Structure formats: structure tokens, C-alpha cells
Amino acid sequence: MPEHPAAYARDAADRQALLQAAAQRGWPVPVIYAADARPAECHAPAADQLEAAIAAGKHDALLMPLPGTLGDPDRLMRLLSSCTHSGVAVSFTPTNAVCRAPGEPHAAPGSTAPAPAG
């Protein structure tokens, strides 16, 4: 059972899903590292901050959406390698959020995202 979990969220929908997943696992409330929702910046600096915190031994578990969250496979592998090296357990959970442009609607769970206008 982790005592100092972290979670990586892309947006508010991820945050909610990750908090719920942590509660379902019986984990304490995780420290959330939240990415900017803009596509070009979707992976930093929150991912960099998370990786630094893990390397510094601040967390003993990481909860994040299914792989692909960080977009860049190299970044994901570095993060997972850092977790392995630091003894941080990683748990993935499905979420309905995707990296999208500001103002783009988010599909409700169980629904389909609306098609872009135009």
C-alpha cells in the first residue's frame, strides 16, 4: 500500500478519474502532476516535474492513464525506467480523456466525442 502516491493527469477529467481510481485502490490522495491541455505542451513541464520528484524519492507509487499518456514513447520509457530504478510501483487506469486543443469538448464516459465542426 503506497504512502506517498503521485498521479499524472492531462486535464480535469483525468484528475477526477485518477482520484477515483486511487480511492478505489484504497490509496491516499495522490499528488497530481497536471499537464497543460494544449497539444504542443501536453507533456511538460508536469512530466518533467513528476520524473524529478520520483528520482528524488518523493513518491512510492504512480497512477496514470493507460500508456500513451505522455505521447512520446521515449519520455514514457524514461519515466517508467525512473520508477523501476526508484522502486516506485506504477498502476495504469483507463480514462476517457485525450490530449486536445483548448475549448474542444470532452466526451462524457460511455459516449462518443462530437465530430469537429466544419
Which CATH number covers residue 59? 3.40.50.2300
pTM for this entry: 0.73
pLDDT of residue 118: 42
Q: Does residue 47 sit within a domain?
A: yes
Q: Does residue 117 sit within a domain?
A: no
Mean of per-residue pLDDT scores for the chain: 78
Residue numbers of the domain that contains 88: 5-93
Selected residue with higher pLDDT from 18 and 103: 18
Residues 11-65 pLDDT 10s: 888 899 999 999 999 999 999 998 754 445 455 588 889 999 999 999 999 999 8
Q: Does residue 20 sit within a domain?
A: yes
Q: Does residue 110 sit within a domain?
A: no
Q: Does residue 101 sit within a domain?
A: no
75 burial level (CB within 10 Å; 0-12, 13-18, 19+):
middle
Q: Does residue 57 sit within a domain?
A: yes
* pLDDT of 115 above 80: no
Name the domain count of the chain: 1
